[in-house]
Each structure stands twice: as structure tokens, then as C-alpha cells.
Amino acid sequence: MVDSDLTGQIECTTEFIGKGGFGYVYKGRWVEEAVNAVRAPIVVKVMNLASPPMDERQKKRQSKQIKRELELWSKISHQNILPLLGIAYINPDDNIPAFISTWMDNGNARQFRRRYPNFPPLLILHDVIQGLHYLHTFNPEIVHGDIKAVNVLINDRYEACLCDFQLSRFLVDNSLWRTTGTQVARGTLRWMSPELMTGKQCTPTKESDIYAYGMTCYEIISGDVPFKSVRNEANLIHSVIVEKQRPEHVESSDLDDMWDIITKCWVEEPEDRPRTAEVLELVRKRTPLKVKAIHLPPQPSRLNKSG
């Protein structure tokens, strides 16, 4: 449940966690007055976006819109979606709030896979598509807009949780903090669909999410980002748009199991890509129901994992 505005209840530490396309992530902490036995460790995502000065009328309008968004997010509850605890204005002059979420000790899917290479990647991919299906079938529908391994966090039950979908909603609706300007495609280039790359589609869609899911499957199984050997962005765009290339198959039994699903997800035309329900059903059939003994710290068992 979203606690709405947490300004004054939390503070941002100097412990830097990482940088993304939307901003910087720091370890946070509850201020003394807000601490109690049930307060979980937190992270603070500080937005790195230009914001024009606002007068009082504009600030009130923005505040109302943010509260409406928080009311929507307070209804979102799924085991594979990272819960948003609330927002906070870290600096008094900030127009854009920071986003407050629960800290995940196991890190993101890329880090987790490197640390525990024997953990079945299909369990992670099942969780991701299950969470994405929840977002796409929510009312109103929610598009994630930036699916990749670093935006998949692993909780203490070894369940994968999609994060940063809230940021995508804010960025698609630029009226939340911008008084001028047009909407532009958001996301990360290596995972970005052709229609977003070319500008044919200006904002992320459910179809572009499916494309990014295919790229994320490749990334989590292979251990490499898509198009790892292509260093230049212009060359990457040329490879995808002109040469219509996709990442090459590498030797992996897990990739063999998922390859037909992956190639369905990253087809050229958006309307030819499967919906989340179809992908979820295909992935579920190939997901192991029981995790065999692997070298992980003792945690609750993952038996009969299904939606």
C-alpha cells in the first residue's frame, strides 16, 4: 500500500547503488521519528530530469496529478511487482519527487545470475512475464516501458519483481512536470523495439514491452546484454532497423528451451507479437516446478510456483 507523501519521514544517504536512464538510486533510511519495528530497508530513486520552474498554481496541479497516480498504485498488489512505498521531496526546491521502494538484498537479476549461475533462469523469466501480464491486464492497463535485467529485482524468496514501471507512467505523461515539450520514446536502446527506435511509435506500448521481454530473456539466459559486440549506437540502430538483426543464438540448453518464445517476442511488426497471456502459458509449461539443490543460502522453498 502506498503511504503517499513520505517527505520528512525518510532521508537519502550517500550510499550510491546505481544509475539508470531515469535517475540515481541511493540507499535510504527512515528518520528517527518514523522508525518502528515493521519499517523495511528502503531505496530512494532520485529523478535526473530537467524541470522548468513552477508557480504555485502549477505546483498544485502537479500535486493533484501525483496523488491520483498514487491512488492507482496503491491498488497494485502482485508478488512479481516491486511495491512503491511512496514519494518524497528530498530537496525543498525539487519539482519532481523521489520514489521510495523496498530494498532487495539479492539485487537485480543480472547480479543474481552472476552470483548464482546454477539458479534456473526460467524461474526468473516466468516471474517477469507473470508480473508483466498483471500490469498489461490491470485496469487501467499499465505499460512498463523499460524491461531489462537490471529492472528485475530478486526478493528474499527468490521471486523476481519488476521495478520502475511507475517511472514509465510518469515519463509517458510529461504533463506531470513539464509545461512545454513533446513526448518522446523512453527505454534503453538495446532492448528497444524497432518502432520506438524509428519514432514510428513515440511512447512505449504493450507490444514494445513484449519485444523488450524477449531481449530480457536472452540477456538473463546468456548473461550478456543484447548485441554485446555492437558498441556504437548508430551501428546498433542500423543493425536492428536496416539489417533487421537480432541477437545470435548461443549454446545453452535453457536458451534452446526458450528460443521459439524469444523469437516470437522480437518479431518486426508489433501486431505479430504475442500477448502476455500467450507468452505466460508457453513459459509456464517450460518452467521447473521444483528447484533442485543449488548453492544458495537457506530460504523458503519454491515448490509448485504458478500464478
Q: Which residues belong to the annotated binding site for ATP? A: 45
Active-site residue 146, yes or no? yes
Report the SS3 class of residue 3: coil
Torsion angle, alpha carbons of 250, 255, 256, 259, to 10: -100
The maximal CA–CA distance of the chain, rounded, in angstroms, is: 60
Report the SS3 class of residue 16: strand
| Helix ranges restricted to H, 41-120 | 56-73, 109-115
Tell me if 143 sits within 8 A of 172, measured CB to CB: yes
Q: What's the gap between Cα 202 and its chain centre?
A: 19
- Per DSSP bridges, beta strands 42-47 and 98-102 are antiparallel
Of 146, 164, 224, 254, catalytic: 146
Instruction: Write out the H or E segment, with its range, that includes residue 47.
Output: strand 42-47
CA distance 28 to 13: 5
Binding-site residue set: 45
Contacts of 62-70 with C-beta under 8 Å, sequence gap 24+, read 62/95, 62/176, 62/177, 65/173, 65/175, 65/176, 66/97, 66/176, 67/4, 69/166, 69/169, 69/170, 69/176, 70/2, 70/4
Spatial CA neighbour of 118 closest among 288, 261, 247, 303: 288
Q: Please state, in angstroms and as integers, the Cα–Cα distance from residue 216 to each residue in 3, 11, 79, 83, 122, following that order.
A: 31, 33, 19, 21, 12
Tell me if 163 sits within 8 A of 153, measured CB to CB: yes
Catalytic residues: 146
